[in-house]
Amino acid sequence: MTDTSTTQRRELSAQYQPAEVEERLYQGWVEAGVFQPQGDGEPFSIVIPPPNVTGSLHVGHALDHTIQDTLIRRRRMQGYSTLWLPGMDHAGIATQNVVERQLAGEGVSRHDLGREKFVERVWQWKAESGGKILGQMKRLGDSVDWSRERFTMDEGLSRAVLTIFKKLFEDGLIYRANRIINWCPRCLTALSDIEVEHYEEDGELVSIQYGEIVVATTRAETMLGDTAVAVHPDDERYKHLIGTEVELPLTGRRIPIVADPHVDPAFGTGAVKVTPAHDPNDFEIGQRHSLPSVTIMDERGVITAPGPFQGLDRFEARPAVVAALREQGRIIAEKRPYQHAVGHCSRCSTIVEPRLSLQWFVNTGPLAKAAGDAVRDGRTRIEPPELAKRYFAWVDNMHDWCISRQLWWGHRIPVWYGPNGEIVCVGPDEEPPTGEGWEQDQDVLDTWFSSGLWPFSTLGWPEQTEDLKKYYPTSVLVTGYDILFFWVARMMMFGLYAMDGRQPFDVVALHGMVRDQYGKKMSKSFGNVVDPLDWIERFGADATRFTLARGANPGADVPVSEEWCQGSRNFCNKLWNATRFALMNGATVEGDMPTELNTVDRWILSRLQHVTAQVDQYFETFELAKACDTLYHFAWDDVCDWYVELSKPVLAQGSESTRRVLGHVLDTLLRLLHPVIPFVTEELRSALNPGGGSVVVAAWPEAEKRYHDGTAEAEMDALQRVVTEVRRFRADQGLKPGQRVVARLDGLAGAGLAPHESLIRSLARLDLPEAEFAATATLAVAGGVTVALDTRGSIDVAAERARLAKDLAAAEKEVAQTRGKLGNAAFVEKAPAPVVAKIKDRLATAEADIARINAQLAALPA
């Protein structure tokens, strides 16, 4: 950390090198304890969405953490007692898979070790290899309180899991039942709905003749477990068949035709096969009609039904069943390929199999209603508000949650079964039953069960700790809109239930997914995946953070590109160079602000107070993109491009007031930027204000209305228009930046610019006219100002005409080509809309080029 014990200034190096700064500063911050809650201010807390212990920092994490860190750093500077609590999730399935693969490489399985030894091995792996992401969070600059780091399997959080399970069990909100669940034949465990990812895949839809009725299916092998055919009770086509039976092909079994309102008469033939043991909707039909459930495949997806298909994998059995039906003339129609959504295990991508299984469930009805009510009555606010309807769509229609997993790594279900059918749930301070025949349930709890407790278990619940009293409810949860259903709803349900109706967070701030610069989803197959650690290595953590934050609009996807990250690095370098210039020219933060100021100083202070107020408002509404964009343009345009240049003449004359204003502006700007780009702002401010302490705990700037000066802003706006117009003319005419041109300025007094003529001439490289002055070009600028320029001797007119004529011909050719394409009705009708739009853009650009080039030609001397 920068030594701030002395006010002696140090020189900044010629270039900013992030690698030489970031690790040193971060280590200093941690050692100084500045990330721990400070003072007695109003509490502000965030619990980090716990990354998996197996994970590493990906670009989605980097965005999420950048937003959280920005919010917490700003509140810390505002004097709040801030807590950003870090930790990790034990990631049951993912972690068990990692360790099992490791064991397989040694030629053993978990069953060879036994449960106790296997769990020991997982803890060993966690100590040696897990949690890599925590170090990567430090590289990004996360200002979390590492002294409060938690893990979902640590002692305190495990106690919380046992406590809430017991409470739910006793309240009748946890039960065990045979239900259809999502099953992964590779991981050999049940999955919750949120652990299943659906992708569109090419399959086959076959229509099968069942006696007088035809049914269609994409999973022909499951017909071996059919126990009925269902039709809608009002479907006139089938009313005469309701209550009769048909023979199930290939099996010899007879099954009933039942009437059920769930059936959609408009879908397919209006008749559906009912397989209660292998389809969730069929299971519900089976329950309503007391149908038997016939299981026809085992836990690995292998057919167990007696007959010729026994022993075949489900995907081998599918074509074999179709072939056998075809032989019997039962296949009425086949549609191939048939696109439909197929569920995959989110951990291993294996196609999930619906399976009837004895599992533990949470009755989510009353819990989900409470979670919906908390948002409806305003206890929790969702930002942006339009995404609340997604939340309601989920919590208002939530199914009961399967929470048991057939794993060894995780919180083991605290239920014991006795020799005579007894079931005993054991709390954290209770001894399990002993004696012959008593056994604990073999399953563990879904990882989301423990992470659903995260906002309060990490603060010490079930104990009534000081942290829990002070920092719950947490202030804001930052997460992607894609996880709104998965995790947010579960935390809402458990938080409200465990904390007597107190919501787990006041605000849910949702951001979108990171995409490439063209809006495409990132994918290894597309080759557009961004590794934030690579960007940090090459461009620095600040540039990486600024790139992500500058695209972070609430609820919207975030486009990024390497080119933009390079631009963010250039921005950090621009700040570095501006501060270095200021220090070399005596800029200071010491002493009172002067009361007598020139127009330029009054203008920049007025702009600064506007920007401070605007940025404050954007942060309050989680509009980080707008805050960053505002700061970027103020820093680059107003401060570096205009104020620094305008101040050079007075700084050269030794103006103490301008030195003080320049120091104040940079100090304020660095504080405003600190939450987003913490490293470079710490390094620069410690050089500018060596006695001011760390910027991490510096005061957050407030807009100072006393500096609002409409007159100065109007004058500088007029000055900028004049200089910009002259610079544009110079660039159009091919004049070198340093080349001076003789010019006469008229109308300055009427525009209030007479006192600034020398500044205008300095910035625009204009010399005073001499006796032989002859205007070869005249520019009219808003406000009644005209600039007459004598370009004789400054421009090779013949060469410039030739260059412009060549550019004009190219632009005219482009216009002809694009108009030709757009005039072709067949092309416009058949071409994709983006292609047509792109051609229209090309036409508009070319037409604008023609107008610009003609104006340049007209301005050339004869």
Residues facing residue 781 across a β-bridge = 785
Closest CA to 549 of 539, 564, 537: 564
**Spatial CB neighbours of 247, under 8 Å, sequence gap ≥ 6:** 210, 211, 253, 254, 255
Question: Is the omega angle on the peptide bond into residue 337 within 30 degrees of 0, that is, cis?
Answer: yes
Q: Residue 779 in contact with residue 719, Cβ under 8 Å?
A: no
Q: Residue 671 in contact with residue 575, Cβ under 8 Å?
A: no
The residue whose two tokens read 């702002």 is: 681
Residues facing residue 778 across a β-bridge = 788
Closest CA to 309 of 220, 211, 418: 220
Q: Residue 7 in contact with residue 437, Cβ under 8 Å?
A: no
Region class of 181: left (phi > 0), else alpha (psi between -120 and 50), else beta: beta
485-498: b (≥16 Cβ within 10 Å) or e:
bbbbbbbbbbbbbb
SS3 label, residue 169:
helix
* The two three-digit tokens of residue 611, written as one number: 């920007």
Strands annotated E in 691-767: 741-746, 766-767
Closest CA to 579 of 488, 689, 474: 689
Residues facing residue 184 across a β-bridge = 189
Strands annotated E in 512-606: 514-516, 558-560
Closest CA to 760 of 651, 604, 600: 600
| CB atoms closer than 10 angstroms to residue 126 | 20
Cα angle 40, 46, 51 (rounded to 5 degrees) comes to 145
DSSP structure string for 594-661: PSS--HHHHHHHHHHHHHHHHHHHHHHTT-HHHHHHHHHHIIIIIIIIIIHHHHHHHHHTT-HHHHHH
Q: Residue 787 in contact with residue 719, Cβ under 8 Å?
A: no
Cα angle 644, 650, 653 (rounded to 5 degrees) comes to 135
Question: Cα-flanking dihedrals φ and ψ of residue 773, to 5°?
Answer: -60, 135
User: Which amino acid, one-letter code, is at 427?
Assistant: G
The residue whose two tokens read 């009425």 is: 332
3-class SS string, 41-85:
CCEEEEECCCCECCCCCCHHHHHHHHHHHHHHHHHHHCCCEEEEE
**Spatial CB neighbours of 797, under 8 Å, sequence gap ≥ 6:** 860, 861
User: Which amino acid, one-letter code, is at 682?
Assistant: E
d(CA 606, CA 603): 5
What radius of gyration, in Å, describes the C-alpha atoms of the chain?
35
Torsion (CA) 417, 418, 421, 423 in degrees, nearest 10: -50
Residue 524 annotated as binding?
yes
d(CA 594, CA 588): 12
Question: Cα-flanking dihedrals φ and ψ of residue 175, to 5°?
Answer: -145, 165
d(CA 807, CA 756): 37
Q: Please state the length of the chain.
A: 862
- Binding-site sequence positions: 524
Q: Which residues are annotated as a binding site for ATP?
A: 524
